[in-house]
Amino acid sequence: EPEVTQTPSHQVTQMGQEVILRCVPISNHLYFYWYRQILGQKVEFLVSFYNNEISEKSEIFDDQFSVERPDGSNFTLKIRSTKLEDSAMYFCASSDWWAANEQFFGPGTRLTVL
Amino acid sequence: AQSVTQLDSHVSVSEGTPVLLRCNYSSSYSPSLFWYVQHPNKGLQLLLKYTSAATLVKGINGFEAEFKKSETSFHLTKPSAHMSDAAEYFCVVSSLGNQFYFGTGTSLTVIP
C-alpha cells in the first residue's frame, strides 16, 4: 500500500541553524501539506501546496518557513533560522484531490531545537 | 471559522466493552469530518470520514461515527474494544480550502 514517508525521523539542531525536513508524498497525489504538533498541543496546519505554489498558509508559516518540490517526488519544508519554539513534530501529508478528501499522513519528523 | 473539540483527553475501557470518543465541531458551512488514529511512532491513519452523504459512517476496524447536525457532534464508537485499539485518536474538520483543523486528541487505553 502506498504511503507518505518522511526523513529524518528525528532532527536535532542548534538555535539559528537552518533545517530541511523531507517528505515523499504518494506518487499520484497532487496536493501536499505540512502540519506541526508542539508537544502537548494540537496538530496545526502550516501550508498547502499545489501546482508548484503555495495554496494556503497559516499565520504560523512566516518568512522563516519555505516549501519546495525540488523534483518529481520530494516535498521539503525549510526553516531558515530555527528558534526554540520550532521544536515540534512535523507531519507531511498528501491527497489526490482538493476539498474534503482524505489526506494521507507521514510518520512525522521530530525536530528538537537546542 | 472551523474548530473541533474533543471532550475527553483520555478514555480508558476494558477489552470487549464499548468505546465512545466524543467530538463536537464548529463550522460556518456544511463540514467534512474525519477521525484519524495514531499508533506510537506511526503516521496518522484515516479511520473514517463524513462528506455529506450518509450520516452514519462506517470505518475500518469496526469503528463508526454518526454525524448529528443538530448537536454539532461526530462521536466515534466501537461495540467491542480490542487491545490493538489503544492509540491516540483525532477528530478533524476540513475547511473549504482543505485545511484540516484538528482536535487535541483522545488517548484510548484498553485494559485487558
Residue A107 and residue B42: Cβ atoms within 8 Å?
A: yes
Are residues A108 and B49, on separate chains, in Cβ contact within 8 Å? no
**Cross-chain CB nearest to B44 (options A44, A55, A105):** A105
Q: Which of B10, B47, B64 is nearest to A105 (CA)?
A: B47
User: What does the alpha-carbon distance between residue B68 and residue A72 come to, in Å, rounded to a whole number?
Assistant: 42
Domains and CATH numbers, chain A: 5-113 (2.60.40.10)
Judged by a CB distance cut-off of 8 A, whether residue A95 touches chain B is: yes
Query: How would you classify residue A10: left for phi > 0, otherwise alpha for psi between -120 and 50, otherwise beta?
Result: beta
What DSSP line would sit under B61-96, residue for residue? GG-EEEEETTTTEEEEEESS--GGG-EEEEEEEE-T
B100 inside 8 A of chain A by CB: yes
DSSP per-residue letters across B51-65: SSS-SEEE-GGG-EE
Helix/strand/coil for A80 = coil
Taking the C-alpha atoms of residue B36 and residue A42, their distance in angstroms, rounded to an integer, is 13
Quick check: B100 and A45 CB within 8 A?
A: yes
Distance between A5 CA and the closest CA of chain B, angstroms: 9
- Return d(Cα B92, Cα B2) in angstroms, integer: 10
CB B35 within 8 A of CB B89: yes
Which residues, numbered 10 to 29 in chain B, qualify as contacts with chain A under a Cβ-Cβ cut-off of 8 Å?
none
Q: How does pLDDT run across B2-37, given as a tens digit for each residue?
A: 889 999 999 999 999 999 999 999 987 778 899 999
Contact B85, B16 (CB under 8 A): no
Interface residue A51 vs chain B (CB under 8 A): no
- Residue in B with minimal Cα distance to A99: B98
SS3 call for B84: helix
Of these ranges, B2-6, B40-44, B108-112, the one predicted with the greatest mean pLDDT is B108-112
- Write the pLDDT tens digit of every residue in B56-75: 999 999 999 999 999 999 99
pLDDT in tens, A39-92: 888 899 999 999 899 988 999 999 999 999 988 789 999 999 999 999 999 999
Grid cell, residue A37, equals 504538533
The domain segmentation of chain B, as residue ranges, is 1-44
Average pLDDT, chain A: 92
